[in-house]
Amino acid sequence: MTDSPRRPTPKFPLQLERVGPAPRRPVGAPAPAAAKRVAAPAPAAGFAGVGLDARAVRARMVDRLRAGGLRQEAVAAAMAEVPRHQFVDSGLATQAYEDTSLPIGLGQTISKPSVVGRMLELLFEGANARASGSLGRVMEIGTGCGYQAAVLARLSRYVYTIERLKPLHDKARENLAGLREHRIRLVYGDGRLGHGPNAPYDSIIAAAGGDSLPQAWLDQLAIGGRLVAPKADARTGAQVLVAVDRIQGGYAHSVHEAVLFVPLKSGLD
């Protein structure tokens, strides 16, 4: 979950008033002249349809991600389906389809769409995912508001997502229940420990980074599986995305672009 400065709270377009039944007219009274039809004002640019039908807005977001380099069409299709505005506070909903991270409380954020897309694309380069066309069994570290878990559910067989902050765990449960997501199991627990009971996992993704990758994550990765997470670069100390593939007899690491995620912490709050 990337950090981002808070933006000013936008103003929503006015909602239509509820229309009640027409008043009764006395028998024999002439009918009133037809009212002139007035066109409703157009929604704000870049936000047409949110609250009514946000598919067009999501499609434009995905087009921008493709223009920025996203090539994995399964990821693009999944992100075009999930209503990101339903995972943020209503006051920030007009910013939901911009390429920015947004605060979700407790010092946490929902990651930028471009970062979500990039990390999921890297997961698809794992051996098991390439062979099956699916991310298989997924473990997500850091549920946050539940948005990425909803995207993952459209790309995998099952998602086990772990959150150490109880208010966020509860918020994600509420958000995902509204979408009737059935292929997601939410776990309130210490993400550094992973989730051993359902290991091994074909794909592991983390939304927080530390100086090293917890050994539990590596142990719970299936042969042919891939882990994607932020980690401090050993030389510069700056965060970068790393991908770890479990192969017969060991692990293969690759380092990718710089990112900025919240710190990986242990324990429960």
Most confident of 12-21, 42-51, 53-62, 99-108: 99-108
User: Model confidence over 64-92: pLDDT tens digits?
Assistant: 999 999 999 999 999 999 999 999 999 99
- Catalytic residue check, 254: no
Per-residue pLDDT averaged across 30-46, rounded?
A: 39
Report pLDDT for 53: 54
Catalytic pick from 101, 111, 156, 203?
111
Residue 173 reports pLDDT greater than 60:
yes
Side chain identity at 49, as an amino acid letter?
G
| More confident: 36 or 190 | 190
Q: What structural domains and CATH numbers belong to the chain?
A: 112-258 (3.40.50.150)
User: Model confidence over 179-219: pLDDT tens digits?
Assistant: 888 899 999 999 999 999 999 999 999 999 999 999 999 99
| More confident: 13 or 92 | 92
Report pLDDT for 160: 98
Per-residue pLDDT averaged across 46-73, rounded?
A: 81
Contact 160, 201 (CB under 8 A): yes
User: Model confidence over 225-244: pLDDT tens digits?
Assistant: 999 999 999 889 999 999 99
Phi-psi region of 108 (alpha: psi -120 to 50; beta: other; left: phi over 0): beta
What is the distance of C-alpha 155 from the center of its chain? 13
pTM of the model: 0.81
User: Model confidence over 92-127: pLDDT tens digits?
Assistant: 999 999 999 999 999 999 999 999 999 999 999 999
Residue 12 reports pLDDT greater than 60:
no
Instruction: Name residue 203's beta-bridge partners.
Output: 138, 226
- What band does 20 get if pLDDT is binned at 50, 70 and 90? very low
Report pLDDT for 44: 36
Residue whose pair of structure tokens reads 């990337």 in the numeric block: 2
Residue 146 reports pLDDT greater than 60:
yes
Report pLDDT for 141: 98
Per-residue pLDDT averaged across 48-76, rounded?
A: 85
- What band does 48 get if pLDDT is binned at 50, 70 and 90? very low
In whole angstroms, how far apart are CA 191 and each of 98, 141, 164? 28, 5, 7
In whole angstroms, how far apart are CA 112 and each of 105, 119, 186, 261, 262? 16, 11, 22, 11, 13
Residue 1 reports pLDDT greater than 80:
no
DSSP designation for 199? -
Residue 159 reports pLDDT greater than 80:
yes
User: Model confidence over 254-263: pLDDT tens digits?
Assistant: 999 999 999 9
